[in-house]
A = this chain, B = another copy of it.
Amino acid sequence: MSVPERKQGEDGYLAWLPYRRQETKEGLERCKAYRQIVVAAAAEDGGAVIQSAAAELARGLESLSGLSAAVVNEGEVPESGAYIQLALFSSPAAGMDRLFPAAVRTEIGPEGFTMQTEADTGRIVIAAAAPAGLLYGAFHLLRLFAAGQSVDGLNIQENPVNPLRMINHWDNMDGSIERGYAGKSIFFENNRFKADKQRIRDYARLLASVGINAVSINNVNVHKQETLLITEEFLPDVAEVAAIFREYAVKLFLSVNYAAPVEMGELPTADPLDPAVQAWWQRRTQDVYAAIPDFGGYVVKADSENRPGPFTYGRDHADGANMLAEGLEPYGGIVIWRCFVYNCKQDWRDRKTDRARAAYDHFKPLDGRFKDNVILQVKNGPIDFQVREPISPLLGAMPSTHQVLELQITQEYTGQQRHLCYLVPQWREILDFDTHLKGNGSTVKRIASGELHGSRLAGIAAVSNIGDDANWTGHRLAQANLYGYGRLTWNPELTSSAIAEEWIRLTFGNGSEKLIRTVQQMLLDSWGIYESYTAPLGVGFMVNPDHHYGPNVEGYEYSMWGTYHFADWQGIGVDRTKATGTGYTGQYAGPNFERYESLETCPDELLLFFHHVPYTHKLHSGKTVIQHIYDTHFDGAEQAERLAAQWEALAGSMDEGLHRQVAERLAEQAEHAKEWRDRINTYFYRRCGIADEQGRTIY
C-alpha cells in the first residue's frame, strides 16, 4: 500500500527523524524491500522498549519508502524474504546460534547490539542481550537506510562507550528554562506538569535515537515548587513522565533540593549527620521508588551559587552525598553530585582566591570518601562552559571516586542559539585531552568511560538545549549539537565531521551534495569563528552580566563571580602559575603542569587563562597579543558574514521556510559579530593605544 509523501518536518519538529523519501531508485527499492519487521524477542520486561524498536523501524521505513510498513508475525514473512528481525540473544529464533555465536555475544554489553545481514535470505537480524540494544540497533539501521547506504553483508557490533549518557534539563516548573534559548519547558507550565505529554514522547524518541539513556527533568537550582517533585503531590506526574521515557530506555532522574526537609517545613535542619534527616530522605526515597521502581536517582547542586548544602552544617560534600546515597542504595539508585562549588561572593580586590582552583581544592581531598553509588559530576573546564577553557584538573584526579563529565549543549556562552556554534569539535578536544594522570594516553574519554580507573559508574552528562519552540532548539542548525552529543557519547571516536554528515543527511536528505558539503563546512568552522570574535586567547567571559549574551569586556571585571581578566594599559590575563600566580597550574599532572606553567610552552589559545602578559608579547603564531586580538576579530566578523553567504547560496535546495529561519539567525550573527569585533577591538585599543598594523577602523 502506498502512503502519501508528507511534508517531512520542515518546521523542524521531526528534527533528524524525518526519514525523507529516498532520492535514488536504488535507495528507494532497498527501503521498500525491508518493510516488514519481525519481533523474535518475547522478553518479559522491556517488551515496551522492543515494541518501540519495531515501531520505529516500521515508521521509518514507511516514510523512507513511501509505502506502508508493518510489524508482522514470523509466519507472515516468506521464509527466504528480506525482512528485519529483532531478537534478544535469549530468543529461540531461527539461526541465532549460527549468526551470533558465543564469541560474538560475549562482546556485546548490556546496551550493545549486533547486526547481521543473512547472505542467502537478505534478512537483517538485530540482536542484543537486552531490549535497549535492540532499540539502538533499530535506530542505527534506520540511519543506514536514510543515508542511502547499502545494507548487504552487514556485520556490526556496537556497544556504547559510556555507561551513563545523560541529559540534564534546567527546567523550572513555572515553565521557564534557566539558560534556555528555544522557548519554554516541554515538561512544565504554571507550576504544574503540562497536561499534553505527546511532546515528551517525541522527545524521548529523539534521545533514544542517539543513544541517550538518562534524563533529569528539572533545574539543578531547585526552587520552592520543584522541591515538591519528590512528594505525593507530584510523584504521580513524575511517574507518568518516567513511563514515557521508559518505553525508550531512558531512565528518569530528579534534581533535589539539599535543604528539602527544611524548605518543606518538616525538619529544623538538613544536617546530613542528623539521624532525623537521614530518616527523612530514606522515607522520601522510598516514596519515589514506590511510584517509579526504576527511578534513576538524584542530581544535586549543593553549596553552589547560593544553593544550600552540607557546608551550612559544618559537614563536607562526602557527608552530604553519602547521606542521600544511603537512601537510594537499596533500590539501585545513584546520587549525581555536582562539583560546581566555588565562592560566588568573591571580592574582586582579592587576587589570591582563584575560582579555577575551587572544584579541585574542594573535592580532591575527599577521594575515597564517597559511597559506591555516588558519582561526582565535573564540568569540562574549571570555570563555566566558556568557548575555550583548559580541561578541569579534577577530571580523573580522584581514582577511587566515580565521576561523570559534564558538558553544555545549550549555548549559554556560545551564542545562545542565535549564533551558529557546532560544539562537537570542542567536545572532541575535551575527550581527547591527555591528562597524563596514569601515564601517556590517560585521556578524558577514558576517564569519562570509567576505563582509566575501572569505575563501575561513569559517563557523560550535558545540559539540554531544547525547549518548546517548534524546532526544539531555536536555531535549526543547533539540533546538530543535541544529535552530536548523543552520538559522541555513544562513541567518542566518531569524528566531528562524520557526525555532522550523518546529521545533515538525516535532516536534509541526500539530494544535494553541495548542500551536504556546505552545511558540513559551516558546522565545522563555526566554533572557531565564534571563538575568534569573542573573548581572546582563553581569557573567557567578557559577556553581559546575568544573561551572558553579547560583548561586555568589563561586564564581570569587578563582580563577585571570580571571572576576571585584569586588563590594564600594559597587558592582560590571569597569572595562574605556581611560580608567581594563584598556583592553579599545580593541579595538573606533570607534563600538563609544565606545559601550562611555562610561557614558552603554554598553547596560544589558552595563554591568557594561565598568564598575564603585555600586549606586545609574541605568540607562537609570531603575532603580538594585541595584533592577534585585532586580526582574529576582524577576521571573525568577516567569517560570520561568510557563513551567511554560504547559506544564502543554498536557497532553493531546501524548503523555503527552513532556509529563511536559518538565514535570519545567520544575519543576526553577522551583525552581532561586528558588535563583538568593534567592542573588543575598541576596548583594547583604548587600553593600550597600539594601532592596528593594517590600519583598519577601530573606534
A residues touching B (Cβ–Cβ < 8 Å)? 348-349, 351, 551-554, 558, 566-570, 678-679, 682, 685-689, 699
Contacts and interface: CB of A to CB of B under 8 A. Distances in A.
B686 A569 contact: yes
Q: How many copies does the complex hold?
A: 2
Contacts of A570: 689
A687 B569 contact: yes
25 contacts: A348-B699, A349-B678, A349-B682, A349-B699, A351-B699, A551-B558, A552-B554, A552-B558, A553-B554, A554-B554, A558-B679, A558-B682, A566-B686, A567-B686, A568-B685, A568-B686, A568-B687, A568-B689, A569-B569, A569-B686, A569-B687, A569-B688, A569-B689, A570-B689, A687-B687
A552 B559 CA distance: 10
Nearest to A544: B545
Contacts of A567: 686
A553 B554 CA distance: 9
Contacts of A554: 552-554
Contacts of A678: 349
Contacts of A568: 685-687, 689
Contacts of A685: 568
Contacts of A349: 678, 682, 699
Contacts of A558: 551-552, 679, 682
Nearest to A566: B686
Would you list the 5 A-B pairs with minimal beta carbon distance, nearest first?
A568-B686, A554-B554, A569-B569, A349-B699, A569-B689
Best-buried of A351, A558, A567 by chain B (most CB within 10 Å):
A558
Nearest to A551: B558
Nearest to A686: B568
Nearest to A688: B569
Contacts of A679: 558
A384 B558 CA distance: 25
A691 to B, nearest CB: 12
A678 B351 CA distance: 14
A592 B568 CA distance: 37
A294 B276 CA distance: 69
Contacts of A689: 568-570
A54 B98 CA distance: 111
Nearest to A697: B349
A680 to B, nearest CB: 10
Nearest to A351: B699
A15 to B, nearest CB: 37
A679 B351 CA distance: 14
Contacts of A569: 569, 686-689
Contacts of A688: 569
Contacts of A682: 349, 558
A139 B128 CA distance: 93
A699 B348 CA distance: 9
A687 B685 CA distance: 11
A228 B585 CA distance: 63
A570 B551 CA distance: 23
Contacts of A686: 566-569
A567 B687 CA distance: 9
A541 to B, nearest CB: 14
A686 B351 CA distance: 15
Contacts of A699: 348-349, 351
